[in-house]
A and B are shown apart, each in its own frame.
Chain A
Amino acid sequence: MSKQDSPLALFWREFAESRIAVVALGVVAIIIILALAAPLIAPQDPYDLANLSLSDARRPPGYVGSNGYVHWLGTDANGRDLLSAILYGLRISLQMGLVAGAISLCLGATLGIAAAYLGGRLEALAMRIVDLQLSFPAILLALVLVAVLGQGKTQLIIALIASQYAYFARTAHGAASAERSKDYVEAALATPLPGWRIVFKHLLPNVMPPLIVVATVQVANSIALEATLSFLGLGLPVTEPSLGMLISNGFQYMMSGRTWISVYPGIALIVLIVAINLVGDQIRDQFNPRLKR
């Protein structure tokens, strides 16, 4: 270990030891770039109804549409270019996963650290609620909330957050209370330092590594959960077709052999989820002290 190695460079070198993880990270990066650049690179704006022609509907991959360009992945039931729809769908799925993941992270970390720092009855109550929620399957909770709040983007994000934050809270609480009981924190607490300084200087940095691991896994889970709810027809409104909805729309044509309408969005979804999970797996192994040589 040379002295000019920054922690980040060290982290990266260790991460790069797993070739699968590096490839997965590359795939995630490419997907994010594709999703961000969707309006620039997609052959068609899938939301512009003027572009759609029903004579182009349900055409197989490689079909040359009435607009003159090739539909490389075919078209869906509305004559929409599937490649464009997938690029835009990736945008929506990623957005939902990241927004829900980020808010759950903040909410869960705050709750977990606060519970560990304050202790007492509040801690017991908060953690009891979190435990109870964790014993309840996420999909059921999301289903209850979608049923209760109705359908829409905000409602869906709320449902995703409500079913994910508990994982962050549990993790943050575990790490923070382990740190809280250490002597140096006890010592810091005995000094007149303000509480927030101890939280930010001592507790938070030690809580971050496990939280990052949970965050990668939970972003993948959010995307999968959103896709599932959209597939069930309880997710996003029709105007914002996520990958789950694209798959759902194509499902009814599957029996007649027009499989591409479901299969290509599905492949995009699986590649995204598996890639994120592989990156998360590698980071978890890196942060796991028991696997350290």
Chain B
Amino acid sequence: MLAFLVQRLLQAMAVMIAMSLLVFVGVHFIGNPIDVLIAPDVPQNIRLETIALYGLDRPLWEQYAAFVGRLLRGDFGRSFVFNVPVLDLIMGRLPATLELVLIATLGATLVGVPLGIYAGYKPDSVVAKSIMALSILGFSVPTFWIGIILILTFAVNLEWLPAGNRGETVDIFGVGWSFLTLDGLKHMALPALNLSFFKLAMMIRLARAGTREVMLTDTVKFARAAGLTEGTILRRHVLKLIAIPIVTVFGLELGSTLAFAVVTETIFSWPGVGRLIIESITVLDRPVMVAYLVLVALLFILINLTVDVVYALIDPRLRQAPAR
């Protein structure tokens, strides 16, 4: 078990180093950041001063070494554009993204799992077929297009919900949260719905496939023989048996929803990290780009590592066999 853990940890670290290298070197090929920092007509001495200040004159490997050193101390440098520490910038934007992602993923699970169980319980009914059609739509229609349709319907035509910004926020621990005010919730409704659509489709498929399998097992036969009602069987037994893959996917999907939030945040002008990275890419704000990509990679590797470890705890076969 310990060997397995160490191996996975080493792998995660190797990936992290590769990722940071790739991002760092790659980002340096995009263009000269000095052109973004200062106007082209500033005197030469100010130009050189700025280059020296940001260390842009040193060789690339030296910049990388300095970068890794600072990274380990939690220092991601200062944003070229906002002139504040990048970590502060990202941490300031993170709550907006986190609450959106959490609500969207939770909502998709709470709605998608019952729908999926029903679709798996009565696969030939009209309702089940409409649920599956909905899930096909959720899979194939791009997120940004769903966002546009939502805005068009609920913001432009019906004028029920606002289509941008966070609305009123409540400060807890110095950061603002939207989900605690009615106005904030109203602002969050459309982006959360938009973000949850793909997850909803996924949860429906997952729950349906699981239910169809479990319904054929002896567990259900015996439960029926024992005289339990169908509702009790579904709630007590089926739900429990399909829960493991759903919980796993829920965890993994938290990470990928963070990635999709980029699109949703752009459409709904939601001031989270996703919009920050898009803005940073367009204005070549290198420290922010690098920090975002490294942090997201770290998050993904941590999630994968956790899933690997949890699997190893559940499945004893994985503990002994050397990883393929």
Contact = CB atoms under 8 A, between A and B. Distances in A.
A45 to B, nearest CB: 27
Interface residues of A, number: 41
Number of chain B interface residues as a range: 35 or more
Given A140-B296, A233-B282, A269-B145, A148 B30 contact: yes
Contact of B142 (A132, A145, A150, A228): A228
B156 A254 contact: yes
A214 to B, nearest CB: 15
Nearest to B30: A150
A244 B304 CA distance: 32
Contact of A251 (B143, B148, B260): B148
A103 interface: no
B253 to A, nearest CB: 10
Interface stretch (A46-54, A205-213, A259-267): A259-267
B189 interface: no
Contacts of A263: 152
A269 B142 contact: yes
Nearest to B142: A224
Q: State the main secondary structure of chain A at its contact with B.
A: helix
A228 B151 CA distance: 17
Contacts of A281: 136
B147 to A, nearest CB: 10
B142 A227 contact: yes
Q: Interface residues of B: mostly helix, strand, loop or mixed?
A: helix
Contacts of B282: 233-234
Contact of B29 (A143, A148, A233, A269): A148
Given A148-B30, A259-B152, A231 B23 contact: no
A178 interface: no
A273 B27 CA distance: 32
A27 interface: no
Given A228-B144, A233-B278, A233-B282, A148 B26 contact: yes
Interface string A131-147: 01001110110011111
Interface in B268-324: 277-278, 281-282, 289, 293, 296, 300, 304, 324
Interface in B140-172: 140-145, 148-149, 151-152, 155-156, 163
Given A135-B300, A220-B140, A266 B29 contact: no
Contact of A148 (B23, B136, B139, B149): B23
B144 A231 contact: yes
B256 interface: yes
A255 interface: yes
B142 A127 contact: no
Interface string B249-276: 0001001100110110011000000000
Interface in A83-140: 124, 127-128, 132, 135-137, 139-140
Given A135-B304, A144-B293, A251-B148, A273 B141 contact: yes
B227 interface: no
Interface of B: 11, 15, 22-23, 26-27, 29-31, 136-137, 139-145, 148-149, 151-152, 155-156, 163, 252, 255-256, 259-260, 262-263, 266-267, 277-278, 281-282, 289, 293, 296, 300, 304, 324
Given A147-B289, A234-B281, 5 more contacts: A135-B304, A148-B27, A148-B29, A255-B156, A277-B139
Interface of A: 124, 127-128, 132, 135-137, 139-140, 143-150, 220, 224, 227-228, 231-234, 244, 247, 251, 254-255, 257, 259, 262-263, 266, 269-270, 273-274, 277, 281
21 contacts: A128-B324, A135-B252, A135-B300, A139-B259, A140-B259, A140-B296, A143-B277, A147-B26, A220-B140, A224-B140, A228-B144, A232-B266, A233-B282, A234-B281, A247-B144, A254-B148, A269-B142, A269-B145, A270-B145, A273-B142, A274-B136
